[in-house]
Copies of this chain bind each other. A is one copy, B any other.
Amino acid sequence: MILSLAISKIKSKGYKITKPREAILKILISSKNKMLSADGILKETQIICANINITTIYRNLEILENIGVIHKVVSSKGISLFKLLCNEFHHHHLICNYCGKVESIDFCPIEYYKKISADKDFYLTDHKLELYGFCKNCINSKKNIF
């Protein structure tokens, strides 16, 4: 997603374009293939928007998630991580354990699981599927990965 699209999404929902909001967007865009915490976003935005407050970060992240500009996952330590939505169809992510690089993978087995769930009288609403591994770069670098 690019800035102009994000901004038009925001405007179309009746939200204003403020300096803090734009700073947050810019940071999200410049880290589009990396998950960021609220605190990480705060620190990055402070560079381009001096007085921004963590409250503003959270309030904007909530709005941006609701209007479909960003995507949130909760890490295994319970911390919320955010990243700009890719501008594609539903897909999943392959995340490098070492450098955090994210690759998209289109295949999703959800239809199969919907069937299985229905057989078990479960109504499926949601799923979490994340793949972890090491990217070529990190395998090739002689770093202490394994």
Task: Report which A residues bind B (CB closer than 8 A).
Answer: 72, 74-80, 94, 96-97, 103, 105, 107, 109, 112-113, 116-117, 120-136, 139
Contact = CB atoms under 8 A, between A and B. Distances in A.
Given A78-B79, A124-B94, A139-B123, A131 B113 contact: yes
A127 B95 CA distance: 10
Q: Taking each of A78, A112, A127, A131, which has the highest tally of chain B beta carbons within 10 Å of its own beta carbon?
A: A131
Q: How would you classify the secondary structure of chain A's contact residues: helix, strand, loop or mixed?
A: strand
A128 B125 contact: no
Contacts of A80: 78
A124 to B, nearest CB: 4
B134 A123 contact: yes
